[in-house]
Chains A and B, each alone.
Chain A
Amino acid sequence: MFKHILLPTDGSSLSHVAIQKGVQLAKAIKAKITGISVIPEQEYYLYQMQVQVKEETVKQHKVQANRNLSVIEKAAKDAGVPCDTFCEISDYPYEMIVKVAEKRGCDLIMMASHGRRGVGALLLGSETQKVLTHSKIPVLVYR
């Protein structure tokens, strides 16, 4: 069955729920997991003078991303599930999620129905929607 589950996280509380469930599932079916956090590249810093600002923001985002990824690492370690984590830079999280899933040979993506920008009780989160639309790999969506 599923051997390798991708768990994207943006640090939101809903994504933490999906992480816990994902680790549980991985344990039950003896799969390994890969955690990924995508931080924005912020191509909108167009001018040279802002390069420093850009570098500084990326650095700060990285700190947060690593904190988010450590949640996955800890959950996996507690459950005894083999786990790798990566921090990737892209302005299009969904694209990076699908790409990483394919590159690393994941056979399932597990994510929350909403992430950081989630509020609408009735709608799907935008990145989740886009992953669902573009992924050839099965996606398990948690509410």
Chain B
Amino acid sequence: MFKHILLPSDGSPLSEAAMRKGIQFAKTINARVTGFCVTPKLRYFSYDSDIGREFEKQAAAAVQAEVAKNLLAIKKAAKEAGVACDTAQEKSDEPYEAIIAAAQKRQCDLIIMASHGRRGGEGLLLGSETQKVLTHSKIPVLIYR
């Protein structure tokens, strides 16, 4: 069955819940997982300036700290469950593209993600990145609510 599951995470509570269920699922089918985070390319300022550069540097550091925390949480959950785990991160302004590219590059055969991420909330709609992953992925996608 599935051998290698990609677990994209944006650190939101729903994505964390999906990640934990994904790891449980991986455990039952003896699959390995790859935790994956996408960080935005930060471009807050159109003009080159000292203030802009300094701000972007700080913002990038803050995002990186957050991503490291998310990936660590995945590693920890996988380790506790005894599931082989890798993590990766990518810089992109289109998370869904980065997720699909990562799944293909790493030859994952399943993507597990939450129905909503950070910008979720709407009870009836699918999250935008989840929707786009579903639309563009050739690999099966398992969606958790």
A positions within 8 Å CB-CB of B: 1-2, 21, 24-25, 28-29, 113, 122-124, 129, 132-143
Task: Say if the beta carbon of B28 comes within 8 Å of chain A.
Answer: yes
CB-CB under 8 A from B142, the residues of chain A are: 138-141
Closest to B18 in A: A138
How many CB-defined contacts (below 8 Å) exist between A and B? 55
- Asked if A122 contacts B136 (CB within 8 A), the reply is yes
User: What's the dominant secondary structure at chain A's contact region?
Assistant: mixed
B1 touching A132, Cβ below 8 Å: no
Please, how many angstroms separate the alpha-carbon atoms of A38 and B143 in the complex? Answer: 22
Closest to B143 in A: A139
Which residues of the other chain, A, contact B102 by a CB distance below 8 angstroms?
Answer: none
Q: Which one of B1, B25, B115, B135 lies within 8 Å of A124 (CB-CB)?
A: B135
Do B134 and A113 touch (CB < 8 A)? yes
Query: Contact: A28 with B1, CB < 8 Å?
Result: yes
The residues of B with any CB-CB pair to A shorter than 8 Å are: 1-2, 21, 24-25, 28-29, 115, 124-126, 131, 134-145
Instruction: Give A28 to B28 CA distance when docked, in angstroms.
Output: 9
13 residue pairs A–B, Cβ–Cβ below 8 Å: A1-B29, A2-B25, A25-B1, A25-B2, A28-B29, A29-B28, A113-B134, A124-B131, A124-B134, A133-B124, A133-B125, A138-B142, A143-B137
Complex Cα–Cα for A40 and B144 (A): 28
* Known A1-B28, A29-B28, A141-B134; further 12 A-B contacts with Cβ < 8 A: A2-B25, A24-B1, A29-B1, A122-B136, A132-B126, A132-B134, A132-B143, A135-B145, A138-B142, A140-B141, A141-B143, A142-B140
